[in-house]
Structure 1
Amino acid sequence: MSAATDDRLSRTIDLMARLIAFDTESSKSNLPIVAFIEDYLRERGVAHVTVPNKAGDKAAVFATIGPMRDGGIVLSGHTDVVPVVGQSWTSDPFTVRRDGARFFGRGTCDMKGFDACCLAMVEEFQAADLKVPIHILLSYDEETTCLGPVDTIARFGADLPRPRAVIVGEPTQMQVADAHKSIATFITTVHGHEAHSSKPFLGANAIEGAAMLVTDLYRLADELAEEGDPSGRFEPAFSSLSVGTISGGTARNILAKSCTFLWEFRGLPGVAQNRALRRLEDYAASTVLPRLRRYAPDARIETVTEVEVPGLAAEPGSVAETLALKLTKSNRTIAVPYATEAGRFQTAGVPTVVCGPGSIDQAHQPDEFVEESELAACLGFLRALTLEVS
């Protein structure tokens, strides 16, 4: 390792520690970390814009190094992290702890390690004779809605340069992922009618209705497993759904007035994102509501869609895939089961892949960590990108 490379790695580790010191759980504002990033960019003369959300309590940062023109490459990361409450950490999750070649802390893997790599490379980007720009986009709310980059994406080709490719730095152990599943999350509430449990014909038990709906959703889950994954690339090899929580009722001898359950659907590329919702609504209309309304005409079922994150579909030979494979010196891509912001960019017509340091196996867990070798590999990837676009 050269002295320059070693210095860049040390800078990355220092920046990662400083980024992780900001508690940016998705329920909290990310403006303090945004201010830090803005100061960092400003001190180096990097052109950037801050794109706030409607509430004004969060923002994305879009930086441009090189000529202010279309056709550049976006390095996309997010600043938010998942909560640590209830997890058994062996050290402060917001203070980076080194143990050998591993760095522990919330966000080391997902994904402030990648963010730090990008920021640490700014001077090298500036020193190069870039023919097209390298952009750094650091967003918010990736862990909840993946809506953080949407307002910035909407400005591509308007008052911001339109890139030709996006590389999302989620943890893939620096392998190139060209596909991932979509995710949609829902809140379903069954409204029944309270009555004494000894006389069920006087009311409608919302828990019974919810149980019927959940049972049918898991029938759909079995059907999806039977359909499998035609591409043979995903693990698990099918679209999946899960009910995470269910609650309702007042007492065992009262027919439940209401019952609510939270559930999600993760669809393979090409599978309609609303497939499970359509199934629930059809079954509710044909079977569950008629049963509930035998004795309670006002019974109803409401479903609220919380989040819809599009999947990433493989685009063999795309600009993003070709570039990332060249930079990683690889000839194969992978598919990942988790959702990312990549689908947001692809939906907007920008070729996108996922490639970043660390393993998803360490993400969202207590004692989350990233290997030093992964950070070094990411820096090598970014250095190769610099040469490629110079």
Structure 2
Amino acid sequence: MSRSRALLQTLVGFDTTSRESNLQLIAFVRDYLASHCVASELIYNEARTKANLFASIGPVEVPGIVLSGHTDVVPVDGQPWSVPPFELTERDGRLFGRGTADMKGYIACVLALVPALVAATLRRPVHIALSYDEEVGCLGVRSLLSVLAQRPVKPMLCIIGEPTELKPVLGHKGKLAMRCDVHGAACHSAYAPHGVNAIEHAAELIGELGRIGQRLRDKQDARFDPPFSTVQTGVIGGGKALNIVPADCRFDFEVRALPGQAPQAVADELRAYAEQQVLPRMQAVSAQSAIRFTELSAYPGLMTDQHSEAAELIAAFCGSRAFGTVAFGTEGGLFDAVGIPTVVCGPGSMDQGHKPDEFVSVAQLAQCDQMLHSMLNALR
């Protein structure tokens, strides 16, 4: 426990907000692993300002277990923190700091296990996978998975340590985030019919999104909350002045789809409605009118079979078969898509994630240490 806490203190001290580089943290982990004679592989982004890290302990010629976490955290801007966000503060059995729950607490426990992993005679390997830019669309892990997909031996299980209060989670929804740009034609508002009001046509598209969302409620899965796929518009902007018919409007929307449902189908349906119903009326007034859709981010859902080997393993490690789902997304669907069975199980609660005074309890950190030692004992 003291090792996990000390490592968490160091990890929280690195400001790895997604807009910043994570290389200082990655260098620390690389050097820490090297001090225990464990080599690391770094996979950089194009600008070489960020990197994923992958390291293996044990016999890599047989399938093993991946312990996976993302190194980036969400911003603290404008949040009323009562403690310094990038310093670890302990109070009343809680460890405060940005990323303590989401998800540097888990990474600290994984790193704390390294000396015991190195000292053990493992029948199967343990892999450590750290990614960047998870918080902005699960972007960084994709290049790491491209490398792993080419390896001759795939892991038998990936444990993603997002905060689940150490309850085994087998599923979450997939997500698609889209931007729609509507371009019309400006004119004086006194002659509004001579222009093409981009805001009004954007509003029509948003209304259609709402109707699509209502239809998605027909197919439900009681394992999720809410039990159906959802659509929502989260950002909108347009217009210059009330007496000018607005030429431009932009809105961002997202689809969170049940596993097995394709979120892209919603975007395709809205695009067809725009091209067949809305755009012809706009272009009848101004031929330069246009509607453009741009994908902002996407990741697949996850639904691991509760009778699979992966589910049995995580149940044995954490001592519970009370499998659940979570509302938030993870990198799990991406691991699963390249043939690596995946579960989500980590210390802390997402109720604390992304908030001021984020924390993980000391008890949860200790319980995570126990879970990982159970895994180690099963691999001896």
Place the TM-score, normalised by the shorter chain, in its bin. over 0.9
Cα distance change of structure 1 residues 359 and 50 upon mapping to structure 2, 3 Å threshold: same
Quote the residue 1:151 is aligned against.
143
Does 2:124 match 1:170? no
Quote the residue 2:359 is aligned against.
369
Residue 385 of structure 1 and its aligned partner are, at CA, apart by 0.3
1:189-247 deviation per Cα after TM superposition (whole angstroms, max 9, x unaligned)? 1000111112123220100111101111112222223x152x31111111112111111
1:119-130 alignment to 2 at 5 Å? Answer: 119-130=111-122
Q: Paired residue for 2:133, among 125, 137, 141? A: 141
1:304-323 alignment to 2 at 5 Å? Answer: 304-323=294-313
Does 2:378 match 1:385? no
8 Å CA contact retained: 2:68, 2:129: yes
Structure 2 letter corresponding to 1:78: H
Deviation larger for 86-95 or 108-117: 86-95
Could you tell me which runs of 5 or more consecutive residues in structure 2 were left unpaired when the two chains were aligned: none
Distance 2:78 2:216 in 1: 33
Quote the residue 2:65 is aligned against.
73
Distance 2:358 2:333 in 1: 25
Q: The residue matched to 1:154 in structure 2 has which SS? A: helix
Deviation larger for 360-369 or 144-153: 144-153
8 Å CA contact retained: 1:64, 1:136: yes
Deviation larger for 269-278 or 21-30: 269-278
Cα distance change of structure 1 residues 359 and 160 upon mapping to structure 2, 3 Å threshold: farther
Q: The residue matched to 1:303 in structure 2 has which SS? A: strand
Could you tell me which runs of 5 or more consecutive residues in structure 1 were left unpaired when the two chains were aligned: 1-8
Q: Paired residue for 2:100, among 91, 97, 108? A: 108
RMSD: 1.3
8 Å CA contact retained: 1:70, 1:157: no
Quote the residue 2:334 is aligned against.
344
TM-score by length of 2: 0.97
Q: Paired residue for 2:325, among 335, 344, 366? A: 335
Q: Which runs of 4+ in 1 moved over 6 A?
A: none
8 Å CA contact retained: 1:26, 1:81: yes
Cα distance change of structure 1 residues 148 and 206 upon mapping to structure 2, 3 Å threshold: same
Quote the residue 1:6 is aligned against.
none
Identity fraction in percent:
42
8 Å CA contact retained: 2:348, 2:364: yes
Q: The residue matched to 1:340 in structure 2 has which SS? A: coil
Distance 1:259 1:152 in 2: 37
Quote the residue 1:25 is aligned against.
17
Quote the residue 1:266 is aligned against.
256
Q: Paired residue for 2:51, among 55, 59, 73? A: 59
Quote the residue 1:301 is aligned against.
291
Residue 291 of structure 1 and its aligned partner are, at CA, apart by 2.3
